[in-house]
């Protein structure tokens, strides 16, 4: 191959790569637009204004199925007491709280023992799903429905499985220990099970960033918006995910994620599949894909539901340090799940899960991050070298930034219409500004973190990098 041929090959490869990046980002945005339109239609035609907590209680207090709330905790000394108080104060007729201390190295266990007057007890497991040893179980003298399980460290999936083994109720709610459910959230999540014919196996809710809000005694006293840009950017991201993508996915029976921060499950089904997998860093996504696979292979009729009126407030990384580990871990977990369940992809046996939902995850998590990040570099370079029409580079930035911002603003409009958890018009404007600013630096940095997740997956790096905690009172 002579020099001219090498140059021509390089030019053709550059054009092909630029075209690939353009098409991938375009398809992703078209799917996001379709999800936004479906979500808007659902909000306009299907989801009615929520009943008040008092009305829900009067209607369902005698019908509510007992629930065990499982809260895995690792190094949560800054927020564990407030979190447990919030879980105990939730409005629900019959529930127990199972806190699983997953070998914390800080004073998480001490905080629990002192604050809730815990004493040792001999509670037996009815299912042994964890891989590590249970050290001791404790019951509270003041709260008979509070059980604390102290175990060796095995990461979140192992802790959730340990709690699942101690649960004795038809429904289990798995929640992060650094999260706060709104008082009526559990009753709203349980409501669909009361009208169900046995097909419903899981219910998810919306996740919001608690930073900037006022939390006292484990209760959310006042909703606010954080001062820092990084938490605001995450608010926008969470709204985009939970009020458009997941609402649309639930409507089209392609719901693939019930957040690890909050989910309500039929206990028997979780035990049937062996609970959460221990060998992945993305246990929440893997669990839902595993549920789909198992139930379809067993030819059991089933459904998963998502209720945006259920809001769980969670502590999110306050700075880029911490966010890097979180996003890399999410990316790695997604790829581990795709690899483990790859036989489902484009397999008609699994219906729309195999033909649509998993294919969308491939687009989002395998093709999407490198294609978009490369696009910011390749398209301008190709245009400057005369290999590409400059208008194509302009169009790429338009679809990646301007169009993407428009989708986010549309999501904010849905939030204002349906949930109205943004306290004031000024705060809504702040989030609108964050929706624009996130495209200039933050989005690209996140893409780089996700590339690091791909790298960790390829290297089979199983280490777990925890996100630094600042506590609910950090503002």
Cβ partners under 8 Å of residue 297, min gap 6: 349
pLDDT at residue 423, rounded to an integer: 73
CA dihedral 74, 469, 315, 450 (to 10 degrees): -90
The residue to which tokens 């629900």 are assigned: 92
Highest mean pLDDT among 7-21, 48-62, 177-191, 205-219: 7-21
Cβ partners under 8 Å of residue 173, min gap 6: 67, 68, 69, 70, 186, 189, 262, 263, 264, 265
Burial class (CB in 10 A: 0-12, 13-18, 19+), 380: middle
- Greater confidence (6 vs 43) lies with 43
pLDDT at residue 463, rounded to an integer: 74
Helix (H, G, I), strand (E, B) or coil at 220: strand
pLDDT at residue 71, rounded to an integer: 92
pLDDT at residue 53, rounded to an integer: 56
Q: What is the mean pLDDT of residues 334-342?
A: 95
Residues for the chain: how many in total? 475
Q: Which CATH architecture has domain 48-339?
A: Alpha-Beta Complex (3.90)
Q: What is the largest CA-CA distance in the chain?
A: 83
The residue to which tokens 């890097």 are assigned: 324
- Would you say residue 51 has pLDDT above 60? no
Percent of the chain with pLDDT over 90: 53
Burial class (CB in 10 A: 0-12, 13-18, 19+), 114: exposed
Whether the CB-CB separation of 432 and 416 falls below 8 Å is answered with no
User: Of 86-95, 196-205, 261-270, which gets the smallest average pLDDT?
Assistant: 86-95
Displacement of CA 147 from its chain's centroid (Å)? 26
Q: Name the residue among 305, 269, 307, 306 with its Cα closest to residue 290.
A: 269
Determine how many CB atoms are found less than 10 A away from the CB of residue 4.
Answer: 8
Cβ partners under 8 Å of residue 442, min gap 6: 229, 230, 233
How does pLDDT run across 360-410, given as a tens digit for each residue? 999 999 999 999 999 999 999 988 888 888 899 899 998 888 888 888 888
Q: Name the residue among 246, 424, 218, 407 with its Cα closest to residue 313.
A: 218
The residue to which tokens 């409501």 are assigned: 191
- Would you say residue 274 has pLDDT above 70? yes
pLDDT at residue 103, rounded to an integer: 93
pLDDT at residue 470, rounded to an integer: 59
- Report residue 460: phi and psi, to 5°: 55, 45
Burial class (CB in 10 A: 0-12, 13-18, 19+), 221: exposed
Percent of the chain with pLDDT over 70: 93
Give a three-class secondary structure readout of 303-350: EEEEEEEEEEEECCCCCHHHHHHHHHHHHHHHHHHHHHCHHHCCCHHH
User: What is the Cα–Cα distance from 359 to 254, expressed in whole angstroms?
Assistant: 11
The residue to which tokens 């109720």 are assigned: 169
Domain locations in the chain?
A: 48-339
Exposed e or buried b per residue across 385-411, where buried means at least 16 C-beta atoms within 10 angstroms of its C-beta:
eeebeeeebeebeebbbebbbebbebb
DSSP state of 275: S
DSSP state of 462: -
Structure tokens at 281: 């860093």
Whether the CB-CB separation of 149 and 113 falls below 8 Å is answered with no
- Would you say residue 467 has pLDDT above 80? no
How does pLDDT run across 190-241, given as a tens digit for each residue? 888 888 888 999 999 988 888 888 877 667 778 888 888 999 999 999 988 8
pLDDT at residue 473, rounded to an integer: 54
Strand segments, DSSP code E, in 51-142 are 67-73, 95-102, 118-121, 134-140
pLDDT at residue 428, rounded to an integer: 83
How does pLDDT run across 279-318, given as a tens digit for each residue? 888 899 999 999 999 999 999 999 999 988 888 888 888 8
Structure tokens at 231: 């938490």
The residue to which tokens 């199983």 are assigned: 462
């Amino acid at each position: 191959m002579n020099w001219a041929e090498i140059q021509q090959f390089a030019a053709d490869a550059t054009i092909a790569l630029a075209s690939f990046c353009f098409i991938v980002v375009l398809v992703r945005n078209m799917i996001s637009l379709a999800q936004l339109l479906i979500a808007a239609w659902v909000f306009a035609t299907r989801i009615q204004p929520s009943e008040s907590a008092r009305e829900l209680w009067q209607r369902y207090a005698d019908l509510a199925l007992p629930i065990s709330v499982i809260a895995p905790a690792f190094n949560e000394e800054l927020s564990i007491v407030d979190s447990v108080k919030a879980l105990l104060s939730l409005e629900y007729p019959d529930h127990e709280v199972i806190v699983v201390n997953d070998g914390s190295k800080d004073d998480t266990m001490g905080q629990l023992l002192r604050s809730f007057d815990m004493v040792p007890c001999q509670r037996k497991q009815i299912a042994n799903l964890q891989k590590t040893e249970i050290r001791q179980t404790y019951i509270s003298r003041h709260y008979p429905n509070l059980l604390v399980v102290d175990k060796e460290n095995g990461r979140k999936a192992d802790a959730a499985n340990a709690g699942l083994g101690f649960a004795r109720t038809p429904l289990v709610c798995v929640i992060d220990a650094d999260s706060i459910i709104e008082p009526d959230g559990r009753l709203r999540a349980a409501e669909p099970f009361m009208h169900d014919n046995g097909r419903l196996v899981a219910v998810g809710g919306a996740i919001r960033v608690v930073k900037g809000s006022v939390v006292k005694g484990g209760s959310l006293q006042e909703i606010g918006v954080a001062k820092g840009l990084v938490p605001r950017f995450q608010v926008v991201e969470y709204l985009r995910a939970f009020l458009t993508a997941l609402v649309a996915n639930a409507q089209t029976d392609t719901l693939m994620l019930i957040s690890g921060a909050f989910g309500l499950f039929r206990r028997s089904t979780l035990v049937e599949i062996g609970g959460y997998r221990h060998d992945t860093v993305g246990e929440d996504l893997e669990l839902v894909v595993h549920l789909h696979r198992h139930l379809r292979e067993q030819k059991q009729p089933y459904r998963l539901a998502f209720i945006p009126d259920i809001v769980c407030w969670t502590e999110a990384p306050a700075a880029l340090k911490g966010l890097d580990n979180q996003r890399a871990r999410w990316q790695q977990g997604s790829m581990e799940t795709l690899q483990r369940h790859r036989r489902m992809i484009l397999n008609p046996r699994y219906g729309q899960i195999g033909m649509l939902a998993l294919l969308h995850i491939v687009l989002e998590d395998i093709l999407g991050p490198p294609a978009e990040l490369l696009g910011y570099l390749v398209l301008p370079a190709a245009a400057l070298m005369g290999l590409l029409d400059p208008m194509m580079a302009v169009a790429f930035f338009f679809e990646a930034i301007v169009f993407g911002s428009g989708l986010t603003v549309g999501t904010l409009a849905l939030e204002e219409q349906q949930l109205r958890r943004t306290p004031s018009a000024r705060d809504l404007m702040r989030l609108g500004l964050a929706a624009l600013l996130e495209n200039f630096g933050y989005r690209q940095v996140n893409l780089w973190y996700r590339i690091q997740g791909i790298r960790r997956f390829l290297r089979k790096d199983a280490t777990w990098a925890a996100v630094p905690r600042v506590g609910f009172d950090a503002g």
